[in-house]
Amino acid sequence: MYLISSLILMCMAVATARAYMPGLIFRLNPAARDLAWSFVLFIAAAVGRSVYWAQVRFIMGDHWADFRDALGGLTVNAAFDAILIFGLYLAIRARWQLLPPDVRAETSVLRSITYPTPLTLRAFLNWSAPNDTDR
């Protein structure tokens, strides 16, 4: 069953990557480009992990344990995680690039996730989605 879901995931990933390909090829604003790359990297890591643990395992059959151990066993997940981390960083950087220029000059990429409310326990506990009355 996991092999089938992995194949479906791979097909959906190819379709999604194709949908975001214009953002990687054509000139877009930096935020859109970073967001497109973020999606592609996120998909690549998720599909890579799925292919590695389902399809390659199926293809290798009885040799799977030797193959897995030769690649470092479970530590191969660190490579997939590194791709995910970089993709998520690009998503946060896209958020930063959408901030007003004066705010962006004073805010780091990682601190942009809390704009306009600073990250505090009180702000987190009282968080609500903005609505029209807040403007």
Residue 90: other Cβ atoms inside 10 A: 21
Q: Is residue 23 pLDDT above 90, yes or no? A: no
- Quick check: 79 and 53 in contact, CB under 8 A? no
Helices (H), 51-76: 57-60, 64-70
- Is there a domain that residue 60 lies in? yes
58, 1 contact by CB (below 8 A): no
Is residue 16 in some structural domain?
yes
- Helices (H), ranges, 1-135: 2-25, 30-50, 57-60, 64-70, 77-97, 101-106, 121-125
pLDDT in tens, 56-112: 888 888 998 999 899 888 888 899 999 999 999 999 999 999 999 998 998 889 888
Low-confidence winner among 2-6, 29-33, 47-51, 57-61 (lowest mean pLDDT): 2-6
Residue 135 has pLDDT above 60, yes or no: no
133 located within any domain: no
Nearest Cα residue to 24 out of 14, 13, 35, 11: 35
Q: Is 129 a member of any domain?
A: no
The reply to whether 36 falls in a domain is yes
pLDDT digits 0-9 by tens, 114-128 = 787 666 666 667 666
Our count of domains for the chain comes to 1
Q: Which amino acid appears at position 91 of this protein?
A: A
Place of tokens 């592609």: 40
> Does the bond joining 116 to the residue before it have cis omega, within 30 degrees of 0?
yes
22 inside domain: yes
Domain of residue 69: give its range. 2-124
Name which of 108, 109, 99, 87 is nearest 36 in CA terms.
87
pLDDT band per the 50, 70, 90 thresholds, residue 20:
confident
Domain presence at residue 132? no
Q: Hey, which of 5-14, 18-27, 77-86, 118-127 has the most confident mean pLDDT?
A: 77-86
94 assigned to some structural domain = yes
